[in-house]
Amino acid sequence: MPPTDIHPCPKCGGKMIETIEEIDHDRFTCLVCRYTWARFLKSARPVIKVYCSKCVEWFSEETVRVENIEEGFDGADVLTFHCPRCASIQRSNRITAKR
């Protein structure tokens, strides 16, 4: 996030820094008076990402062609998909990322 996106502290006008990144909101803390402020994100729905070991990159699940989904040994979902870049068939855990 660019620093220009962060508003000055509403209480003292001091500089605020982003302290916590959550799935659905960002939390800012004033460096001067320690006032904290949460900004809820408009698109709170998280993106699911899957990993292509050939491209060494994460892709949004929305952009890949899903072949199969199954439960891995640890209970987590394992997705078999066609990579949108290299077209190989990959298996990956699904991770939740912020949009």
Q: Are 83 and 96 in contact (CB under 8 A)?
A: no
Q: Which of 54, 24, 58, 17 is nearest to 39 (CA)?
A: 24
Q: Measured from the CB of residue 53, what is the shortest distance to Zn ion in angstroms? A: 8
Q: Which of 31, 58, 32 is nearest to 47 (CA)?
A: 58
Q: Measured from the CB of residue 44, what is the shortest distance to Zn ion in angstroms? A: 26
Q: Which is nearer to Zn ion, 17 or 86 (CB)?
A: 86
Q: Which is nearer to Zn ion, 12 or 69 (CB)?
A: 12
What residues have CB less than 8 Å from 11, skipping those under 6 apart? Answer: 30, 33, 35
Query: Residues for the chain: how many in total?
Result: 99
Point out which residues bind Zn ion (CB under 5 A): 9, 11-12, 14, 30, 32-33, 35, 52, 54-55, 83, 85-86
Q: Measured from the CB of residue 13, what is the shortest distance to Zn ion in angstroms? A: 7
Q: Which is nearer to Zn ion, 22 or 57 (CB)?
A: 57
